[in-house]
């Protein structure tokens, strides 16, 4: 009952024309910057911070939060239509979403992504309202040893992600780990692989790498095709998901929501891990895993639900403990501090209207998003009819603006082009960039936490096996490794049955 | 943004041209937008502390003050951009301890405090010496006794080599004659969970970040690393009162301009900063951030920078802190 009275406080706070207006403005802006490749919520929120000075704190936070989860919706649109992941969490959406678009099923993919995200957003909002405090306590139990074991599990899952050769996938993960090493070593302060270039002292940015490997490489490949004006089948197909699509999607969306809600709470890799692990899970559970990577709708529904749920629950550590779990949340801390609110456990008690208002606004924002995005699907799909020779310069331009906006650095724009060319060679060599990106994101965190855990344990490896959460994660990694060999066995069995 | 048709572009040029003329008439600084480069990410403590002041300056001047975040290489990238900017007072740097420390820690550092003319300090939250609530230490004296009983066994945090937190921990350990194991993190927020759950025993932590956890009872402050007590924690002693005045390590932050900027402009900027800092709203926002300000301007600030350089050169040599 307490829950209902809390939601009542929130509803009362947000149901003013002004707050609803800022909520809508936020999600609209978020959708737009999400759709534009490269422009991300970090740069947008940073630019809007000064504007929020003049607003009441609740309106400001509602708008900034709307930009964040709105960008998650918009980001999947670009991933599906032009194979550009705007956010680390939409990398996996590219795999099957873009394959669907090329088969003329972009509408179905977009529809399932929007509905799956709405469902996940609704559930995650309830999770925040009901269980924020206990969940935050769980996050506090995650020390360096637990993080190391979680990252290990994630890396093994990355290999499962790959479509083809396991050997190539491992090679790509290792390359990702190496790229992740670029920059200043946290423990010693020494620079690694920076070649004296100050711009590399903080490592390669994720946006640079993903934009190059996915977006720019894809453009080069498309331009190479001689008949190439029509990258997409002329037939657009149904704009909405069919009954069959929905039947295939609801379970993955449900599982994705659960995964995302839990993993989103963890700082750092939470949002990325949730979409990656949801994809891995669906591929494992599928009757025919070979469909994945070739337009399996489950591969869109699950990860999309997971990343939206994760985006929502990543507010928990911020709201309950004042701990930002990703760069956007760090900006939200800044936005709150500008208004003289120090985020932390006291916010819930001292400013209930603000706290619950923000939470209720997330559900209302998700509602706006689905109402906004469903009619827009027709428009987005029609965008694919634009001749590619007109479309690709626009994509390139936005990629450059987007990359520049992250750190105001021209060096990073050049680096993106470099990775674009590298990505083109990967396509030629039939190497998947997704495992590389996961290795890149998880590798540095894994190293940092490994060294930290070992230092705290004064060199005793046993720490990974004596802490229960860490042990459970390591056991899960072992199980996953064991079943890596399984599909081969199953394939042989399937063949035998066909004979 | 390039306009396709000639007319709007022409109109824009015309309007700007007229503005230029009308302003040349009274030619008072600033006659166009001022850019402030923050060499840290948006939303961080330094960024927030800067925006509190720039917002007031923009209103006082009737000119936009654009905050541009150019993070990277421990402040070097943003500082290099200002060092090479025109010395006309329209490009400011938010400099911090890194201006003094980078040249001392890294022989290849391309910027130093000598490349800039100091204007004045901004309000910034000082560091607190804190332990998790579960720690048996009730006072700094308790903690020192605890650490002496278990040399090398207690963990402290290091959120960045050369950060005020790192140097504060080094100086304090040396003065108190204790040995702590430093665990490295990328910035302060990531170490907070490990500090709260007791894997870390001690931290030099920004008062702004510590405040919510002190109020929720998960963190116990033992002292403030500043020469005055904090308004928000009047009962909390300073390190000086406890006998370790040298352990005062403030992550001081201030406005800088390129070294060749003419004196009338630096004097004007210092006066404008002083005025903005006295504004009631700015004071209220700084208080909410737990910020303190040593109120150093121009020559006083320059003298302070010299003393900082001497101080840290000695500490870095004694404690062998230089990265290899």
The radius of gyration of chain A's CA atoms, rounded to the nearest angstrom, is: 22
Domain assignment of residue B131, yes or no: yes
With an 8 Å Cβ cutoff, are A143 and B208 in contact? no
Partner residue opposite B44 with nearest CB, options A141, A196, A334? A334
How many cross-chain Cβ pairs, A to B, lie less than 8 Å apart? 138
B238 and B276 share a domain? no
Among B247, B268, B298, which residue terminates a domain? B247
Cβ A264 vs Cβ A270: under 8 Å = yes
Helices (H) and strands (E) in chain B, counts: 11, 10
With an 8 Å Cβ cutoff, are A199 and B77 in contact? yes
Query: In chain B, which residues have their Cβ closer than 8 Å to the Cβ of A337?
Result: 45, 48, 208, 288-289
Q: Collapsing DSSP states into helix, strand and coil, what is residue B256?
A: strand
Query: In chain A, which residues have their Cβ closer than 8 Å to the Cβ of B109?
Result: none
With an 8 Å Cβ cutoff, are B71 and A407 in contact? yes
Cβ A30 vs Cβ A64: under 8 Å = no
CB atoms < 10 A from the CB of A79, how many? Answer: 32
Q: For testing the chain B interface, which of A42, A338, A447 should be mutated: the one with the most B CBs within 10 Å?
A: A338
Sheet of strand B91-96: strand arrangement? B65-69, B34-38, B91-96, B253-258, B116-121
| B83 pLDDT more than 50 | yes
Domain assignment of residue B23, yes or no: no
Helix (H) or strand (E) holding A192: strand A191-192
The Cα angle at residue A264 between residues A261 and A265, in degrees rounded to 5: 95
Q: What is the average per-residue pLDDT within A126-154?
A: 81
**Domain of B234: which CATH number?**
3.40.190.10
B164 and B233 share a domain? yes
With an 8 Å Cβ cutoff, are A408 and B215 in contact? no
The β-bridge relationship of strands A191-192 and A183-184 is antiparallel
Confidence of residue A231 (pLDDT cuts 50, 70, 90): low
Q: Which of A184, A210, A271, A272 is nearest to A403 (CA)?
A: A210
> CA of A9: how far to CAs of A130, A178, A347, A367, B64, in Å?
14, 50, 14, 19, 38
B193 and B95 share a domain? no
B195 and B164 share a domain? yes
Q: How many structural domains are present in chain B? A: 2
Question: What's the maximum distance between 2 C-alpha atoms anywhere in chain B?
Answer: 79
| B45 pLDDT more than 70 | yes
Q: What is the average per-residue pLDDT within A423-444?
A: 86
Lowest mean pLDDT among A225-229, B61-65, B129-133: A225-229
Cβ A160 vs Cβ A284: under 8 Å = yes
With an 8 Å Cβ cutoff, are A345 and B76 in contact? no
Confidence of residue B18 (pLDDT cuts 50, 70, 90): very low
Nearest CA distance, A409 vs chain B (angstrom)? 8
B294 and B228 share a domain? no
φ/ψ of residue B65, rounded to 5: -115, 110
The β-bridge relationship of strands B181-184 and B155-158 is parallel
Residue B182's DSSP bridge partners are B156
Q: For testing the chain A interface, which of B38, B72, B191 should be mutated: the one with the most A CBs within 10 Å?
A: B72
B200 and B172 share a domain? yes
Listed as own residue / partner, the contacts of B231-237 with beta carbons closer than 8 Å and 24 or more positions apart are B231/B287, B232/B207, B232/B287, B232/B290, B233/B207, B236/B128, B237/B140
Domain assignment of residue B264, yes or no: yes
pLDDT the model gives residue B321: 80
* % of chain B surpassing 70 pLDDT: 91
With an 8 Å Cβ cutoff, are A140 and B196 in contact? yes
Domain limits for position B204? 127-247
| A404 pLDDT more than 90 | no
Cβ A270 vs Cβ A280: under 8 Å = no
Domain assignment of residue B19, yes or no: no
B190 and B41 share a domain? no
Lowest mean pLDDT among A452-461, B26-35, B76-85: B26-35
pLDDT the model gives residue A485: 63
Whole-angstrom Cα distance, residue B116 to residue A309? 48
Q: What is the average per-residue pLDDT within A459-472?
A: 90
Nearest CA in chain A to B1: A401
Domain assignment of residue B185, yes or no: yes
| B17 pLDDT more than 50 | no
| A240 pLDDT more than 70 | yes
B57 and B97 share a domain? yes
Whole-angstrom Cα distance, residue A482 to residue B237? 58
Residue B121's DSSP bridge partners are B254
| A491 pLDDT more than 70 | no
* % of chain A surpassing 70 pLDDT: 90
Tokens of A337: 């501090």
Confidence of residue B223 (pLDDT cuts 50, 70, 90): very high
Helix (H) or strand (E) holding A183: strand A183-184
Domain assignment of residue B16, yes or no: no
pLDDT the model gives residue B153: 93
Domain assignment of residue B18, yes or no: no
pLDDT the model gives residue B27: 56
With an 8 Å Cβ cutoff, are A408 and B69 in contact? yes
pLDDT the model gives residue A232: 59
Tokens of A70: 């709105």
Whole-angstrom Cα distance, residue B129 to residue B224? 6
Question: Can you point out the beta strands (E) in A249-330?
Answer: none
Among B221, B247, B273, which residue terminates a domain? B247
pLDDT the model gives residue A11: 86
With an 8 Å Cβ cutoff, are B186 and A186 in contact? yes
Cβ B163 vs Cβ B323: under 8 Å = no
Cβ B301 vs Cβ B118: under 8 Å = yes
Whole-angstrom Cα distance, residue A407 to residue A38? 12
Q: What is the average per-residue pLDDT within A83-96?
A: 79
Question: Can you point out the beta strands (E) in chain B?
Answer: 34-38, 65-69, 91-96, 116-121, 127-132, 155-158, 181-184, 203-206, 219-224, 253-258
Partner residue opposite B192 with nearest CB, options A143, A323, A335? A323
pLDDT the model gives residue A277: 81
* % of chain B surpassing 90 pLDDT: 68
Listed ranges A28-37, A335-344, B31-40; the one with the highest mean pLDDT: B31-40
Q: For testing the chain A interface, which of B107, B193, B213 should be mutated: the one with the most A CBs within 10 Å?
A: B193
Q: What is the average per-residue pLDDT within A82-105?
A: 82
The verdict on A225 touching B (C-beta cutoff 8 Å) is: no
Interface of B with A in 30-89 (CB under 8 A): 41-45, 47-48, 51-52, 55, 67-74, 76-77, 80
pLDDT the model gives residue A368: 92
Q: For testing the chain B interface, which of A57, A198, A326 should be mutated: the one with the most B CBs within 10 Å?
A: A198
Which residues make Cβ contacts (< 8 Å) with residue B179, sequence separation at least 6?
Answer: B147, B151, B152, B173
Interface of A with B in 442-481 (CB under 8 A): 448, 451-452, 455-456
Nearest CA distance, A115 vs chain B (angstrom)? 32
Q: What is the average per-residue pLDDT within A234-243?
A: 68
Whole-angstrom Cα distance, residue B39 to residue B25? 35
With an 8 Å Cβ cutoff, are B73 and A201 in contact? yes
pLDDT the model gives residue B172: 96
Listed ranges A210-214, A471-475, B20-24, B273-277; the one with the highest mean pLDDT: B273-277
Confidence of residue A377 (pLDDT cuts 50, 70, 90): confident
With an 8 Å Cβ cutoff, are A337 and B70 in contact? no
| A396 pLDDT more than 70 | yes
Among B212, B232, B247, which residue terminates a domain? B247
Nearest CA in chain A to B180: A456
Lowest mean pLDDT among A44-58, A300-314, B157-171: A44-58
Domain assignment of residue B276, yes or no: yes
Q: What is the average per-residue pLDDT within B166-184?
A: 94
The β-bridge relationship of strands B203-206 and B34-38 is unpaired
| A486 pLDDT more than 70 | no
Partner residue opposite A337 with nearest CB, options B41, B48, B69? B48
Partner residue opposite B189 with nearest CB, options A139, A323, A335? A323
Tokens of A416: 């993106």
Partner residue opposite A456 with nearest CB, options B183, B190, B288? B183
Query: In chain A, which residues have their Cβ closer than 8 Å to the Cβ of B74?
Result: 184, 201
B236 and B158 share a domain? yes
B217 and B265 share a domain? no
Nearest CA distance, A319 vs chain B (angstrom)? 11
B50 and B139 share a domain? no
- Each residue's pLDDT tens digit, A179-208: 999 988 887 778 889 888 888 888 888 778
- Each residue's pLDDT tens digit, A278-321: 888 888 788 887 888 888 899 899 999 998 898 888 888 788 77
pLDDT the model gives residue A164: 65
Nearest CA in chain B to A457: B199
Q: Taking all residues of chain A, what is their mean pLDDT, rounded to a whole number? A: 82
| B234 pLDDT more than 70 | yes
The verdict on B185 touching A (C-beta cutoff 8 Å) is: yes
Interface of B with A in 107-136 (CB under 8 A): 108, 110
Query: In chain A, which residues have their Cβ closer than 8 Å to the Cβ of B155?
Result: 455-456
- Each residue's pLDDT tens digit, A153-166: 877 776 665 556 77
| B23 pLDDT more than 50 | no
Nearest CA distance, A4 vs chain B (angstrom)? 25
Q: Collapsing DSSP states into helix, strand and coil, what is residue B119?
A: strand
With an 8 Å Cβ cutoff, are B51 and A50 in contact? yes
Whole-angstrom Cα distance, residue A36 to residue A74? 8
* Helix A106-141, helix A243-263: angle, nearest 10: 20
With an 8 Å Cβ cutoff, are B215 and A346 in contact? yes
Burial B229-257 (b: 16+ CB within 10 A, else e): bbeebeebbbbbebebeebbbbbbbbbbb
Q: Which of B256, B291, B251, B259 is nearest to B101 (CA)?
A: B251
| A238 pLDDT more than 70 | no
pLDDT the model gives residue A319: 81
Nearest CA in chain B to A444: B186
Whole-angstrom Cα distance, residue A415 to residue A496? 50
Q: How many CA atoms lie within 13 A of B262 on its CB side?
A: 6
Q: Collapsing DSSP states into helix, strand and coil, what is residue A60?
A: helix
Which residues make Cβ contacts (< 8 Å) with residue A253, sequence separation at least 6?
Answer: A112, A115, A116, A119, A120, A301, A302, A304, A305
Interface of B with A in 284-323 (CB under 8 A): 284-285, 288-289, 323
pLDDT the model gives residue B302: 96
B243 and B132 share a domain? yes
């Amino acid at each position: 009952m307490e829950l209902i009275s809390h939601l009542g406080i929130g509803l009362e706070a947000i149901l003013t024309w002004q707050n609803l207006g800022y909520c809508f403005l936020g999600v609209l802006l978020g959708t737009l910057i999400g759709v534009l490749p490269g422009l991300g919520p970090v740069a947008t929120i940073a630019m809007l911070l000064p504007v929020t000075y003049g607003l009441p704190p609740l309106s400001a936070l509602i708008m900034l939060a709307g930009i964040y989860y709105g960008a998650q919706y918009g980001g999947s649109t670009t991933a599906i239509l032009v194979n550009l992941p705007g956010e680390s969490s939409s990398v996996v959406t590219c795999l099957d979403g873009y394959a669907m678009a090329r088969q003329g099923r972009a509408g179905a993919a977009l529809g399932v992504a929007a509905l799956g995200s709405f469902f996940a957003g609704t559930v995650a909002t309830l999770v925040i309202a009901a269980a924020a405090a206990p969940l935050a306590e769980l996050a506090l139990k995650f020390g360096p040893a637990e993080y190391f074991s979680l990252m290990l599990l994630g890396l093994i899952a990355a290999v499962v992600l790959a479509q083809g050769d396991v050997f190539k996938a491992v090679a790509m993960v290792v390359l990702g780990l190496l790229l992740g090493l670029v920059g200043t070593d946290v423990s010693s302060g020494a620079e690694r692989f920076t070649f004296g270039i100050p711009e590399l002292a903080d490592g390669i940015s994720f946006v640079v790498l993903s934009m190059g490997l996915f977006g720019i490489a894809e453009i080069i490949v498309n331009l190479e095709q001689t008949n190439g004006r029509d990258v997409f089948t002329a037939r657009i197909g149904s704009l909405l998901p069919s009954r069959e699509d929905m039947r295939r999607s609801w379970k993955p969306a449900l599982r994705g929501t659960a995964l995302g809600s839990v993993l989103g709470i963890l700082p750092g890799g939470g949002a990325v891990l949730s979409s990656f692990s949801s994809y891995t899970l669906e591929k494992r559970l599928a009757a025919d895993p070979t469909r994945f990577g070739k337009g399996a709708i489950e591969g869109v529904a699950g990860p999309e639900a997971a990343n939206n749920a994760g985006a929502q629950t990543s507010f928990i550590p911020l709201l309950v403990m004042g701990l930002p779990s990703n760069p956007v949340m760090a900006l939200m801390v800044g936005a709150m501090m500008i208004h003289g609110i120090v985020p932390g456990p006291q916010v819930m008690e001292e400013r209930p209207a603000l706290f619950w208002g923000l939470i209720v606004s997330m559900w209302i924002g998700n509602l706006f998003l689905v109402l906004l995005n469903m009619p827009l699907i027709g428009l987005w799909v029609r965008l694919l009819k634009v001749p590619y020779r007109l479309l690709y310069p626009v994509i390139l331009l936005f990629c450059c603006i987007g990359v520049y906006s992250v750190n105001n650095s021209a060096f990073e724009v050049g680096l993106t082009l470099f990775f674009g060319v590298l990505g083109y060679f990967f396509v030629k060599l039939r190497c998947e960039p997704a495992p590389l990106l996961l290795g890149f994101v998880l590798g540095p965190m894994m190293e940092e936490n490994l060294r930290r855990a070992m230092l705290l344990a004064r060199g005793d490896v046993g720490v990974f096996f004596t802490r229960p959460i860490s042990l459970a994660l390591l056991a899960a990694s072992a199980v996953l490794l064991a079943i890596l060999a399984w599909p081969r066995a199953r394939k042989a069995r399937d063949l035998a049955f066909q004979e | 943004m390039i306009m396709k048709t000639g007319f709007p572009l022409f109109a824009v040029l015309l309007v700007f041209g007229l503005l230029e003329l009308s302003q040349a008439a009274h030619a008072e600084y600033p006659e166009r937008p001022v850019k402030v480069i923050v060499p840290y990410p948006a939303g961080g403590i330094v960024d927030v502390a800067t925006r509190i002041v720039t917002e007031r300056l923009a209103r006082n001047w009737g000119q936009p003050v654009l905050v541009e975040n150019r993070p990277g290489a421990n402040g070097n990238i943003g500082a290099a951009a200002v060092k090479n900017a025109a010395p006309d007072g329209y490009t400011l740097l938010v400099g911090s301890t890194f201006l003094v420390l980078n040249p001392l820690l890294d022989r290849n550092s391309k910027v130093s405090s000598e490349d800039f003319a100091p204007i004045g300090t901004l309000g910034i939250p000082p560091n607190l010496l804190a332990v998790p609530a579960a720690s048996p230490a009730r006072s700094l004296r308790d903690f020192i006794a605890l650490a002496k009983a278990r040399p090398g066994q207690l963990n402290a945090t290091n959120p960045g080599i050369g950060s005020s937190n790192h140097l504060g921990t080094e100086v304090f350990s040396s003065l108190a004659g204790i040995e702590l194991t430093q665990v490295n993190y990328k910035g302060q927020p990531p170490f907070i969970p490990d500090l709260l759950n007791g894997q870390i025993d001690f931290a030099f932590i920004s008062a702004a970040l510590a405040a919510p956890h002190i109020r929720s009872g998960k963190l116990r402050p033992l002292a403030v690393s500043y020469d005055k007590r904090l308004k928000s924690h009047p009962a909390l002693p300073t390190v000086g009162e406890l006998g370790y005045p040298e352990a005062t390590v403030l992550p001081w932050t201030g406005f800088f301009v390129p070294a060749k900027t003419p004196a009338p402009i630096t004097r004007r900027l210092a006066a404008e900063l002083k005025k903005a800092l006295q504004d009631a709203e700015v004071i209220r926002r700084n208080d909410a951030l737990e910020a303190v300000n040593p109120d150093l301007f121009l020559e006083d600030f320059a003298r302070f920078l010299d003393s900082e350089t001497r101080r840290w050169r000695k500490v870095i040599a004694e404690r062998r802190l230089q990265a290899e």
